[in-house]
Structure 1
Amino acid sequence: MFGIINCNKPIGITSRVVVNAANRRVRPAKVGHAGTLDPLASGVLLLPVGPAVRLTSYLQELPKQYRATFQLGVETSSGDLEETPIPLANAPVPTAEQIADAAQALTGRIQQVPPAHSAIKVDGKRAYRLARAGKAVEMKPRTVDIYALEIIKYDYPNLQVHIHCGSGTYVRSIGVDLARACGTVAVMTSLERTAIGDFTVEDAHSIEQLREQDIEPMLQSPLRGLPEMPQVELDEATLKRIEQGQIVDLHDESLQTPQAAETELAAIDAEQNLRALLIARGGGWRAHRSFHTAS
């Protein structure tokens, strides 16, 4: 059990329910997840299985795509339907051009203030716990990357958008910020994560499949979670030395550049199995993460 399951989380359950369903099928192998989806959201949830759990941080950094719907002219402190929306008195009705201009202004590398109802820690406590307790929470702006923000449909008060973004982006905040730029307010009424990296919702497995069908055919190569990482194919003797913690000389001039010295390499065997992630050390390369499993 070594790979990544692409699951389509349905609305109405937590990400933990999906992880637990997979756990029951693959024990004693471990299962993690990359990128929590709220119960009100659906879509791609990646489940690294077995040694692939060590790739969780890499999966979390993959770009994500969403289809989100916002209702303009109403607001909540959470930015979504966790609370009952409150109408804004005399709310303006933005034109399609205003919406498009606001979307363009929010594209690129931007500063975003996360919602108070988020899992970010403030003074050692989850922000959403403080917010739900009625305490004032000051959220600091963060830099996020919005690669694309496209209007799918606008029929006031409903606005549907496609978002392609980097890690750490809060989709709720995008809708709130877009509405603010148009002089109004908004809440997110639906959210579907349509892709993480090249894992798409069209190819995702349902939770029913996860519970009832054979798991092994669902496992995708862990290399799919490392699309930008250079790969080096090594013989078994070299891989064994790496797995024993030794520093190895890969005898490849292309790996001796200063740029490569700052990089990780995915060490694979002749069958294209991921065996280790390497970093430059002591004039050679050593394992930063090893995925060796005893036979």
Structure 2
Amino acid sequence: MHGILNINKPAGKTSRDVVNIIQRLVRPAKTGHAGTLDPLATGVLVCPVGHGTKLIEYVQRMPKTYEACFLLGRHSDTEDIEGEVQLLADPPQPTLDEIEAVLPSYLGAIQQVPPAYSALKVAGQRAYDLARQGKEVELASRLIEVYSIEILAYDYPELRMRIECGSGTYIRSLGRDIARDLGTEAVMSELVRTAIGCFRIEDAIHPDDQLSRGTIVAALQPTSLAATQLPQVTVDHEEIVRLAQGKVIEPAVPDSAEEVAAMTTAGELVAVLVPGKEGGWRTTRNFANDYL
């Protein structure tokens, strides 16, 4: 029971709800998820199982693709329709050309202030807990990366966009900032995560289907998919034995690599390797014993 599940999270369920459903079926194996989706949002929720849980951070590094709908001329304390939505008095109605003109400034590495209603911690407490208590929440801006933004449809007040971005990006806050650049406000009304790296919504299973331990086993994808963003090296049996013993190996690694995925000749993930202190490459994630 080791691998990665690609789940299509339905609206109304938290990411934790989905993990709990899977956990009951895969025990004693562990599970988790690699990137929270709010209850309003739907789409790809990657849930590693067993050894896959040791690779969550590598899935989190993968680019994410979203399709979002924003309603212009509206404000919400949560930045989406889950909060108290207020219509602005006589807001401007930007043209499609005006919207397209501001989008380039949101590409690349940019600073973003996360929403007050988020799971980030402030002095040890969740920001959304403080916000719900009516307390002022000030979150520092942080660096995010946006790879592409495409307008899918625009019929005021409804603006639909496809966004590809890195980890830590709040899509509702991106819509907030774009709207403010246009002299108005916006709330997010829909959000679908269509992909995380190679995990795509077309291949996802639905947690409301008749899930069982058997259907989960059948749907598990190999843990090697979590390491597709890393340079890869092939290791032989002797090297696998050394890795299982906690020893370093000396594979042919690209000069610029800081981390590599050690693979069997069949393309199975043996370990994630980092440079050893005294030369060679040592494991930081080690599954070598599974191949002996």
TM-score (norm 1): 0.94
The 1-side partners of 2:254 and 2:216 are apart by: 41
Residues 234-288 of structure 1 deviation map (CA, whole Å, 9 limit, x = unaligned): 22232122111112233x3xx373x23xx11211223322111111112211111
The 2-side partners of 1:210 and 1:43 are apart by: 18
The 1-side partners of 2:74 and 2:60 are apart by: 32
The 2-side partners of 1:125 and 1:233 are apart by: 45
Residues 88-139 of structure 1 deviation map (CA, whole Å, 9 limit, x = unaligned): 1121111111111122221222111111111111112111111111001111
Q: Are 1:291 and 2:292 matched, yes or no?
A: no
2:148 maps to 148
The 2-side partners of 1:181 and 1:174 are apart by: 11
TM-score (norm 2): 0.94
The 2-side partners of 1:209 and 1:285 are apart by: 44
**CA shift for structure 1 position 205:** 0.7
Cα separation, partners in 2 of 1:198 and 1:154, compared to 1, 3 Å: same
The 1-side partners of 2:91 and 2:65 are apart by: 30
**CA shift for structure 1 position 11:** 0.3
1:70 maps to 70
The 1-side partners of 2:4 and 2:177 are apart by: 34
Question: What one-letter code is carried by the residue in structure 1 that aligns with 2:93?
Answer: V
Is contact 1:21-1:210 (8 Å) kept?
no
The 2-side partners of 1:66 and 1:256 are apart by: 33
Structure 2 residues without counterparts, runs of 5 or longer: none
For 1:1-295, what aligned pairs fall within 5 Å after superposition? 1-209=1-209, 211-212=211-212, 214-250=215-251, 252=252, 255=253, 257=255, 259-260=256-257, 263-281=258-276, 282-292=278-288
User: Secondary structure of the residue that 1:67 maps to in structure 2?
Assistant: strand
The percentage of counterpart residues that share the same residue type is 47
The 1-side partners of 2:13 and 2:273 are apart by: 38
Structure 1 residues without counterparts, runs of 5 or longer: none
What is the aligned length? 289
The 2-side partners of 1:230 and 1:183 are apart by: 45
Is contact 1:248-1:284 (8 Å) kept?
yes
Is contact 2:67-2:163 (8 Å) kept?
yes
Cα separation, partners in 2 of 1:268 and 1:73, compared to 1, 3 Å: same
User: Secondary structure of the residue that 1:90 maps to in structure 2?
Assistant: coil
Question: Once superposed, what is the RMSD of the aligned Cα atoms?
Answer: 1.6
User: Secondary structure of the residue that 1:207 maps to in structure 2?
Assistant: coil
The 1-side partners of 2:210 and 2:259 are apart by: 32
Cα separation, partners in 2 of 1:256 and 1:94, compared to 1, 3 Å: closer
**CA shift for structure 1 position 293:** 5.4
The 2-side partners of 1:145 and 1:197 are apart by: 15
Cα separation, partners in 2 of 1:271 and 1:256, compared to 1, 3 Å: closer
Is contact 1:68-1:162 (8 Å) kept?
yes
The 2-side partners of 1:12 and 1:215 are apart by: 22
Cα separation, partners in 2 of 1:234 and 1:203, compared to 1, 3 Å: same
The 2-side partners of 1:124 and 1:141 are apart by: 18
Residues 174-199 of structure 1 deviation map (CA, whole Å, 9 limit, x = unaligned): 11111101100110001000100021
